[in-house]
Amino acid sequence: MAKIIVTYGVPADGFSLLAGHEIVIPPHGTAFSREQLIGLLPDADAVLACTALDREMIAAAKKLQLIVCYGAGYDAIDVAAATSHGIPVVNTPECVTRPTAEMAIALITSLARRLHELNALMHTRPPRELFGMGRRMGTSLDGSVLGVVGMGRIGGRVADFAHLMGMRVLYTARTSKPERDALGDTRVSLEDLMKNSDFITLHCPHTPQTEGMISREMIALMKPTAYLINTARGPVVDEDALIEALRAHRIAGAALDVFASEPDINPAFAALDNVLLTPHAGSNTLHARNEMARAASRRILDRLAGRIPQNLLNPEALAHEKA
């Protein structure tokens, strides 16, 4: 029987595949502290990492055979440390593609039609002041240009949804995407995308190369009528520069589901009425969470059976496997 640590109290139905193994999980909606994890990890065989795992924590995991990242992102895991200790790291990106794309489209639509503003007004103002044609008009998505920064799984799904609403798509990617070009999408430089898009949606990972990529200079290229949407990772955006642009109304607005220092956020965002804020809820549906647990369980079972698990991020770790 293997011991499996789940670092956060996520929906547990998906762990039924691990019946017969010991699963150590905190109460729903809570996380193990760093100190608790350091105490739990030494005799763990696998860990489902919903929170950060740093070098010291990984070094404490003397028996660990696998780290599974809960979702697509793995920037909170010290992959280099795991590799040096012979611990494979995998992620579960297939489970978050659709819900995160749905979230991005929901945010784009809310910005375009000013739904967050209208809802707040209907709750706080006399309705008679609000009804009437020509008041607080929104933007049509049909005919607008969507800029997708990072045309991977999620970016591609967002582009597919955008086509259904009549949007034209520009995108950035490290390599050409013939399948996207065949649909009429156009690969451009980041600078051209920032200049020519009405809605800019971010779907790139957080890496040393992408940190601060949406910089002051990039934001300055945006149209005054354009919106920025981030469901990727907070550090990809220069938040101070974005706050300045929003305060000065140099861009129309933004929708942010991720932040540079989450769970803390810059309080300046909450004081702005032209930014829509959500608490990293991109994949937060019950179906997606259970699918993530099932995918993680399958990877753990593969590893325990001596098979190479799906979505291995550091194959070089296999050369340093523990005896």
Entry field: residues in the chain:
323
Strand 46-49: give its sheet, edge to edge: 22-24, 3-6, 46-49, 66-69, 89-90
Strands 186-187 and 199-202, bridge-based pairing = unpaired
Residues 263 and 136 in one domain: yes
219 and 91 inside one domain: no
- The CATH number of the domain where 267 resides is what? 3.40.50.720
pTM of the model: 0.89
DSSP strands (E only) in 79-235: 89-90, 145-149, 168-172, 186-187, 199-202, 227-230
Give me the mean pLDDT over the 83-93 stretch: 95
71 is in which domain, residue-wise?
3-95+285-320
Give the C-alpha separation, 82 to 64, whole Å.
10
Confirm if 104 and 158 have CB atoms less than 8 A apart.
yes
Specify whether the CB–CB gap between 171 and 193 falls below 8 A: yes
DSSP code of 250?
S
Same domain, 188 and 70: no
User: What pLDDT digit, counting tens, does each position of 232-285 carry?
Assistant: 999 999 999 999 999 999 999 999 999 999 999 999 999 999 999 999 999 999
79 and 175 together in one domain: no
Helix (H) or strand (E) holding 253: strand 253-256
- Looking at the fold, whether 225 and 107 belong to one and the same domain comes out as yes
Q: Please check whether residues 40 and 173 belong to one and the same domain.
A: no
Q: Which residue has the tokens 């997708």?
A: 148
Residue-by-residue DSSP string for 44-96: -SEEEESS-B-HHHHHH-TT--EEEESSS--TTB-HHHHHHTT--EE--GGGT
pLDDT band, very low/low/confident/very high, at 193 (cuts 50, 70, 90) = very high
β-partners of residue 49 are 69
Q: How many domains does the chain have?
A: 2
CA distances from 11 to 76, 91, 98, 193, 246 (A): 21, 18, 18, 39, 37
Residue 75 contacts by C-beta under 8 Å, 6 or more apart in sequence? 205, 206, 207, 233
The pLDDT of residue 13 is 86
> Is residue 273 a contact partner of residue 252, using CB atoms and an 8 Å limit?
no
DSSP state of 31: B
Say if residue 265 is in the same domain as residue 297. no
Q: Same domain, yes or no, for 213 and 136?
A: yes
What percentage of the chain reaches a pLDDT higher than 90?
90
Tell me: pLDDT of 323 over 60: no
Tell me: do 42 and 120 sit in the same domain: no
Q: What is the pLDDT of residues 150-189, one digit of tens each?
A: 999 999 999 999 999 999 999 999 998 999 999 999 999 9
- How much is the pLDDT for 133? 65
Catalytic entry in 206, 233, 289, 303: 233
Mean pLDDT of the chain: 95
Distance CA 31, CA 234 (A): 21
Let me know if 128 is a catalytic residue: no
> Per-residue pLDDT tens for 96-116?
999 999 999 999 999 999 999
Alpha-carbon gap, residue 262 to 271, rounded angstroms? 17
Q: Decide if 129 is catalytic.
A: no
Note if 280 is an active site residue.
yes
* Residue with tokens 């045309």, as numbered in its chain: 151
Rounded Cα distance, 2 and 45, in Å = 6
Residues 171, 246, single domain; the answer is yes
Q: 80 Cβ partners below 8 Å, 6+ apart?
A: none
Quick one: how many helices (H) and strands (E) in the chain? 12, 12
Tell me how far apart the alpha carbons of residues 280 and 152 are, in angstroms, rounded to a whole number: 19
Is residue 30 located within the same domain as residue 144? Answer: no
Q: Return the amino acid letter for 300.
A: I
Same domain, 313 and 264: no
